[in-house]
A and B are shown apart, each in its own frame.
Chain A
Amino acid sequence: MSTLKADTIQNTSGGAATLTKQAALKAHIQLDQETGTIADSLNQSAITDDSDGSTRFNYTNNMADANYSVTASAGNVDTNTTWIRNVILFSDNSGSYKNAPTTSNFYMQCLDNAGNLDDFPYVCHQVAGDLA
Chain B
Amino acid sequence: MSEIITNKLTGKTAAGNVTITSEGGSATMQLQQGLIKMWVMFNGSSAPTTADSLNVGSLTDNGSGDYVINRTNAMNNANYSTSSMCDENGVVFIVAGTYSTTANEIHVKDSNSQSKNDYDRIGVHVAGDLA
User: Hey, which bits of chain A sit against chain B, CB under 8 A?
Assistant: 1-12, 14-17, 24-26, 28-30, 39-43, 61-62, 64, 71-79, 83-86, 113, 121-122, 124-126, 130-132
Please determine whether B22 and A74 come into contact, CB atoms closer than 8 angstroms.
no
Which one of A2, A11, A132 contacts B24 once the chains associate, using CB atoms below 8 Å? A132
Q: List 25 A-B contacts (CB under 8 A).
A: A2-B5, A2-B8, A3-B10, A4-B9, A5-B12, A9-B21, A17-B20, A24-B20, A25-B33, A28-B127, A30-B81, A41-B81, A64-B23, A71-B125, A73-B82, A73-B94, A75-B93, A76-B96, A77-B95, A77-B97, A85-B114, A122-B82, A126-B81, A130-B23, A131-B24
A77 cross-chain contacts in B, Cβ below 8 A: 95-97
A132 to B13, CA, bound (A): 26
Which 4 A-B pairs have CB atoms at the shortest separation, nearest pair first?
A: A75-B94, A24-B34, A131-B22, A40-B79
B46 cross-chain contacts in A, Cβ below 8 A: none
A81 to B78, CA, bound (A): 23
A23 to B13, CA, bound (A): 23
- The bracket for how many chain B residues form the interface is 35 or more
A61 to B22, CA, bound (A): 10
User: Hey, which bits of chain B sit against chain A, CB under 8 A?
Assistant: 1-2, 4-13, 17-31, 33-36, 77-85, 91-97, 99, 105-107, 109, 111, 114, 125, 127-129
Please determine whether B34 and A84 come into contact, CB atoms closer than 8 angstroms.
no
A9 cross-chain contacts in B, Cβ below 8 A: 9, 18-21, 31
Please determine whether B29 and A24 come into contact, CB atoms closer than 8 angstroms.
yes
Which one of A12, A16, A28, A124 contacts B22 once the chains associate, using CB atoms below 8 Å? A16
A59 to B77, CA, bound (A): 23
